[in-house]
Amino acid sequence: MEFSSKLLEKAVNEMAQLPGIGKRTALRLVLHLLKQPKEQTQFLAESLQTMRNEVQYCKSCHNISDVELCEICCNEKRNHQIVCVVEDIRDVMAIENTGQFKGIYHVLGGKISPIDGVGPSQLNIVTLVEKVSSGRVAEVIFALSSTMEGDTTNFYIFRQIQQYEVKTSTIARGISVGDELEYADEITLGRSILNRIPFENTMKSS
C-alpha cells in the first residue's frame, strides 16, 4: 500500500498494530477520524495515553482499578472467603454481569501457555498462593476457559494450594442454555451426564 502522506502512513501503521486491525481497516478508521472534528482525535489520543499511564491494578486481586484497592475488594458486603480465579478483567466483568457471585476475584493476567512464552512466573499466582496460605480463604473457584492452557493453569495452581486447607471447585461445564443437544460436542455432553445435578437446582436459578 502506497500512501500519499507520511503522516497518514505513520498513523495507519500504528493503528494496524492493534490485534485484528489490518492495514485496510486501519486506513478506514484513520480516514474516519480525518472527517470528524479535531477534538474527537484529541479525546481519543488523550484518553488512551492517560489510561495507559495512570491506570492501576488492585494490589489484592490485580483487577484494573483507579485506586490501590478495587471496589470489589473494598466492599465489605462481599464474601472475602470465596476467591474466584479468572484470566483477565473481561472475565470479572462477565461474571459480575450475571449477578450470581458475591465473593471476590483474583485476576491471573493470562494462562500458562508455553507456546506463547507465558510461564507461571508471569502470572499473578504467587499472590494467590499467599492469600490462600494466610488461611483467610475457604474456597477457590477456578473460572478459566476450558482449554488446554486453562486446564494446565488450573492444575498448576491446584498443586500449589492443595497443601492448605481450602476447598477448590471449578465452574460447571455442560450444555449451554438454549443449545441443541445434537450439536454439542461429545466431551461436553459426556461430562454433563457424569456431572448431572439434582433437577430441583435448575428451578432455583433465574
Which positions lie near a copy of itself, rule CB under 8 A?
A: 1-8, 10-11, 13-15, 17-21, 25, 27-34, 38, 40-56, 58, 63-66, 70-72, 88-90, 92-93, 96-97
Judged by beta carbon, residue 20 or residue 178, the one nearer a copy of itself is: 20
**Cβ pair 62, 107 in contact under 8 A:** yes
The C-alpha cell at 156 is: 498448576
**Smallest separation (angstroms) from a copy of itself to the CB of 99:** 11
**Smallest separation (angstroms) from a copy of itself to the CB of 58:** 8
Where are the strands (E) in the chain, listed by range?
56-57, 64-65, 79-86, 103-107, 139-142, 167-170
**Smallest separation (angstroms) from a copy of itself to the CB of 142:** 21
Judged by beta carbon, residue 70 or residue 161, the one nearer a copy of itself is: 70
Judged by beta carbon, residue 39 or residue 200, the one nearer a copy of itself is: 39
Vertex 202 angle, CA 201 and 204, to 5°: 70
**Cβ pair 174, 191 in contact under 8 A:** yes
**Smallest separation (angstroms) from a copy of itself to the CB of 52:** 4
C-alpha to C-alpha distance for 57 and 152, rounded to whole angstroms: 25
Judged by beta carbon, residue 3 or residue 158, the one nearer a copy of itself is: 3
**Smallest separation (angstroms) from a copy of itself to the CB of 160:** 24
**Cβ pair 127, 62 in contact under 8 A:** yes
C-alpha to C-alpha distance for 206 and 196, rounded to whole angstroms: 19
**Smallest separation (angstroms) from a copy of itself to the CB of 37:** 9
Judged by beta carbon, residue 45 or residue 126, the one nearer a copy of itself is: 45
Place of cell 481519543: 44
Judged by beta carbon, residue 97 or residue 201, the one nearer a copy of itself is: 97
32: Cα separation from own chain's centroid: 31
